[in-house]
Structure 1
Amino acid sequence: MARTFRGESVHKVDAKGRVSIPALFRRVLEAGDPDWQAGQAPRVVIVYGDYRRQQLECFTQEAIEEVDAQIAKLPRGSKRRQALQRLYSAQAFPTSVDETGRLVLPAKLRKKIGLQGEAYFVGNGDTFEIWSPETYEIMVDEGLEGDEDFDPDADPSIYLDGIGED
């Protein structure tokens, strides 16, 4: 089974905050949940706490456990550990996909990102993001400004050259 979220799609959000997850994303959530069995609902952790970002970041069970392990390596009581725990533990919403392949996004999360009638799902490797379609469009248009090492007119695949070389 695939363990990488790929692709993008728009899905309707109903008045109760229910939204269908792309089918391929559901397969990744299933593969990334060590306790998942056929007929059960895969678990997902939605991180919403970073005030600078206007999207929700969704983790498989395995991906969030990797983050937790990294945080646990930091000294107890350190400011970095406290900040990371606040973001990935306190400001996170553990939930599961319902039997029809939907997530229920609480009003607090929908309000945080301005989500109303539609949700924009974006595959992001080991996580996926949920955006308001309007906000995502603005981010794509403006989000790359200020990075001196990035040429928005170049083919992005050129940045793969030299990765991992010392």
Structure 2
Amino acid sequence: MFLGEYQHNIDAKGRLIIPARLREGLGDKFIITKGLDSCLFAYPMEEWSALEQKMRSLPFTRADARAFVRFFFAGATECEIDKQGRILVPANLREYAGLEKEVVVIGVSNRVELWSRERWEKYNEESASSVEEIAEKIVDFDLGI
């Protein structure tokens, strides 16, 4: 399980340190892809395989399902952590997520998310007022909250 929020800088070559606590769960190789909310998602290989199986069950006859699968898989790439605990974030993914200098790395249950600091702060600001409303809506899922 991934949790926590960490601040790091991405260098001019696109290398980003992955916090040690998150590296353990991601493993030496993992998948990074375009995520929702203009951030990047990183999945350990087992989680990615499970997600891939679920995506395969989507009806390919539906245009929205095809579009989502294309979005998710076309942006995906395998990453390896180097000896300094860094990954190279491809230019197309950096551009999509707006990763230029300051990056927020967060653990979110089964995945890690990479956010530009600016977008993360804006997201938190915008969602802070609606968290209680969201909690009320998802109470039907019996999460024990």
| TM-score normalised over the length of structure 2 | 0.83
CA RMSD of aligned residues (A): 2.7
For residues 92-131 of structure 1, what are the structure 2 equivalents within 5 Å?
A: 92-131=76-115
| Uncovered stretches (5+) of structure 2, i.e. residues with no partner | none
Shift of 1:164: 5.4
Identity of aligned residues (%): 30
Matched-pair contact (CA < 8 Å) for 2:43–2:111: yes
| Uncovered stretches (5+) of structure 1, i.e. residues with no partner | 31-41
How many residue pairs get aligned? The number is 143
Alignment-derived partner of residue 43 in structure 1: 29
Alignment-derived partner of residue 25 in structure 1: 22
Matched-pair contact (CA < 8 Å) for 1:116–1:132: yes
Larger radius of gyration: 1
Q: Does residue 163 of structure 1 match 2:135?
A: no
Could you say if the C-alpha distance between residues 73 and 150 of structure 1 is closer, same or farther in structure 2, counting changes exceeding 3 Å?
closer
Q: Which has the higher contact order (CA 8 A, sep 6+)?
A: 2
Name the CA distance, whole Å, in 2 between partners of 1:89 and 1:106: 14
Structure with the bigger percentage of strand: 2
Shift of 1:45: 1.1
Letter aligned with residue 32 of structure 2:
I
Structure with the bigger percentage of helix: 2
Alignment-derived partner of residue 13 in structure 1: 10
